[in-house]
Amino acid sequence: MFLLNLTITLASLSCDQSSRTKIESSNTSSTTPAEQPRLTVSIRDISEPPLSSLDPGMVAAWKQFTRDGQYRLARPADMLFTEDAKRRINASFSMWQGDTTFAGEFVALVIDTTKTDQNRFGIVLFRPDKAWARATYSPRWLMRNRDLSSTAIDRVSGYLFIHSFTTGNKYESCRVHWNASKRCYICR
């Protein structure tokens, strides 16, 4: 029996070389010639935010937030993105798991590890406690205990957007704002 396993890794069309597209093909004497290779798209995956590029106060706030293990950054294995959505993320989004804003905030799509249902996701922003002194940061929830398994974060021209994929590579978006009178984030 002749068995040929072939895995080819191609760089995606995105400028970021950490994103990859894989084509996996398996051919054995028992398979039909009409079988097509199965295409899977990988998206950027980091287990921790790029701490070296963050303000020291923000790094301390993130470490405090994740210290007991209840929360961690969402990973591709947690998500339910379609292949088309993954392609869109690779081509258009700078960082789907989290990013910084020009206002000095850090945002992250997180998982509550104490839960096992789809409502284990949240989006948390770390905002300076005092706008003029960015020494300490506090976590502020934008969304919590929700199914965000098809959601990505993006920053465009300094503005923060939350994108919820619906079908294929289509998504609905809202822009994140700080509501000073309510002292909370809103997305609309």
Cα–Cα distance for residue pair 95/54, rounded to 1 Å: 15
| Total number of domains in the chain | 2
The pTM of this model reads: 0.75
Is the domain of 96 the same as that of 55? yes
Which residues partner with 11 through β-bridges? 20
Is the domain of 147 the same as that of 164? yes
Q: What is the pLDDT along the chain (188 residues), one digit of tens a residue?
A: 333 232 222 222 222 223 322 323 233 344 444 555 556 789 888 888 887 778 899 999 999 999 999 999 999 999 999 999 999 998 888 788 988 877 778 899 999 999 999 999 999 999 888 877 668 899 999 999 999 999 999 988 878 999 999 987 889 999 998 898 998 999 99
Which residues constitute the domain of residue 96?
45-187
3-state secondary structure of 143: strand
Give me the amino acid identity at 9: T
**Is the distance from CB of 56 to CB of 113 less than 8 angstroms?**
no
Give me the amino acid identity at 94: S
Is the domain of 70 the same as that of 108? yes
Is the domain of 27 the same as that of 53? no
DSSP for residue 13: S
Is the domain of 31 the same as that of 103? no
Is the domain of 23 the same as that of 67? no
Q: Which among 113, 41, 141, 129 has a CA at the least distance from the CA of 82?
A: 41
Is 27 exposed, middle or buried, given 0-12, 13-18 or 19+ CB atoms closer than 10 A? middle
Is the domain of 93 the same as that of 15? no
